[in-house]
Chains A and B, each alone.
Chain A
């Protein structure tokens, strides 16, 4: 290795150490005993303990951490299924089929990507309140089944446009209608875009705070981000350790997804501009 290469690796690793320090600090701190939690710069305490985790499993408020974990999981998996199904259907129509109003509708969909969600926030809240769905998971999941995350529709449309049309034509000659082409040609080839959509749907929904804050107000329905927020409102200095333990657990699925799919994620962002 030349000196230049060594220097380069040195710079990159130093930058990375600085960048990832907060994450390392979080994990380390979650194992520190109460009196050390905020006092040391070092990410690892002198006397590591699993007490913080034991306390979190025992219960935050009335429920153990797995309860909130389960709620978050339910909401996120709902979002994944909803987005994958509804966005694929819409993307196929926009990407391959001809129909009246396609241009304007597509244009409108592109605008909704840039629209601040605050402009629809309050009437949406009123709708879900009228439907008696506030304090249930429906307001968080139902919209995903109506392809409201236009970004994923766009991502899939872009992907479908790269698929050779000859395949469609061959399938049509074999007697497939539009639904058959979708089922037998487009859907199998769309897999990479579907996986990208699924991963990002999960992570965004898992991280989402704003809509969960608005729609869920009963601790039994709380998701992890809300439980964490509840925690810091009640927390005294001594409860900081368990709070960080819970934070680590909340980041765990994202960390695992990241480790498993990092290549996919980075390439997905590069080709489609997902904001992440």
Chain B
């Protein structure tokens, strides 16, 4: 007691920090206070779980018994002993390669169509955007399932055109296209971003090129596309990352099974089955890390390739 009473004043006698520094430090305290929810979230719900998930990926874990260390077993099983893993990876690759270009192509085409000042164009833009909001829902996935089933609208319409393919959702060779169509249908969000990009293309460039005798196609390839490349990059990265994580459509269309014959077994759906149906949480964690690695590598490759094809105005001389 006596000791502390004696030591306390000596601390107070330490020279006070200069006012500026003190204010800065007080400011820092406030800053961390504002940031505290985010910091708590980042630590408890992101960084901690990431470390835990990496650890779990080297274990056998069924949620009820303590995790058991198995080293690289999950990863080697995945690569050498799990046919469904490779199958899911293949299905996902096909899904990404089909849906992303289709979606971005539609988005760009409609953006070009709507990039003019006409009466009602604002309303049209909104209307084309609507599926982007609706399409993520279970409701619309159900509509897709019904429309692409045998005797459903799409089947009937194709039959009327002489293409008797039957219901897509029942046939392994067509079922994935149901999901591709569902993804492409939601082209509204990248379309709006393309429209914003098209606004940045200076009219004078088009006018000057027209005077020099360049036709619409030439002006599109020589002016519009280069000026749009940063936006194309942005949309491409975003849509690739999203496509790798697609889940709801595949789950609803196949009632969670990924069928028929695993033809709609997207990677996240298989991960879900492994983790939450089979309770192989360690294996599912390993799958999550493989997904992260693949997405990171592809994103990095896209950004690297961007140096060759993305054009930034004002950097010509570099």
CB within 8 Å of B: which residues of A?
5, 8-9, 11-12, 15-16, 19-20, 22-23, 25-26, 29, 38-39, 41, 85-86, 89-90, 92-94, 97-100, 102, 105, 108-109, 112, 114-124, 126-127, 129, 143, 145-148, 153, 177-179, 182, 203-204, 206-207, 209-210, 213-214, 224-225, 228-229, 232-233, 240, 243-244, 247-248, 250-251, 254-255, 258, 262-263, 265-266, 269-271, 273-276
Contacts and interface: CB of A to CB of B under 8 A. Distances in A.
For the complex of A and B, the 7 pairs showing the least CB-CB separation, nearest first, are: A146-B41, A123-B49, A276-B189, A247-B139, A123-B52, A99-B31, A90-B38
B134 A254 contact: yes
B47 to A, nearest CB: 8
A201 B91 CA distance: 31
A251 B139 contact: yes
9 contacts: A8-B116, A97-B27, A118-B292, A121-B275, A121-B284, A129-B63, A209-B252, A247-B142, A247-B143
A223 to B, nearest CB: 10
B285 A93 contact: no
B292 A123 contact: no
Contacts of A209: 137-138, 247-248, 251-252
Contact of B28 (A99, A108, A114, A119): A99
Contacts of B142: 228, 232, 243-244, 247
Contacts of B122: 263, 266
B153 A124 contact: no
A250 B137 contact: yes
Given A41-B156, A143-B45, A177-B30, A273 B238 contact: yes
Most central of B143, B238, B291 by chain A CB within 10 Å: B143
B37 A146 contact: yes
B180 interface: no
Determine the interface band of chain B, counting residues with CB < 8 A from chain A: 35 or more
Interface of B: 24, 27-28, 30-32, 34-42, 44-46, 48-50, 52-53, 56, 63, 110, 113-114, 116, 118, 120, 122, 124-134, 136-140, 142-147, 149, 151-153, 156-157, 185-186, 188-189, 192-193, 195-196, 234, 237-238, 241-242, 244-245, 247-248, 251-252, 255, 268, 271-272, 275-276, 281, 284-285, 287-289, 291-292, 295, 299
B295 A266 contact: no
A244 B145 CA distance: 12
Given A93-B31, A114-B241, 20 more contacts: A12-B114, A16-B124, A19-B128, A23-B131, A41-B157, A89-B35, A92-B34, A99-B32, A99-B35, A118-B245, A120-B45, A120-B49, A122-B285, A153-B38, A178-B34, A225-B137, A228-B142, A232-B145, A250-B137, A262-B126
A175 B113 CA distance: 53
Given A120-B45, A126-B52, A229 B138 contact: yes
B117 to A, nearest CB: 11
A270 B192 contact: yes
B50 A119 contact: yes
Given A232-B142, A232-B255, A116 B35 contact: no
Contact of B248 (A86, A120, A210, A254): A210
A23 B189 contact: no
A140 to B, nearest CB: 13
B152 A38 contact: yes
A124 B45 contact: yes
B269 to A, nearest CB: 10
A97 B289 contact: no
A100 B35 CA distance: 12
Contact of B134 (A8, A23, A147): A23
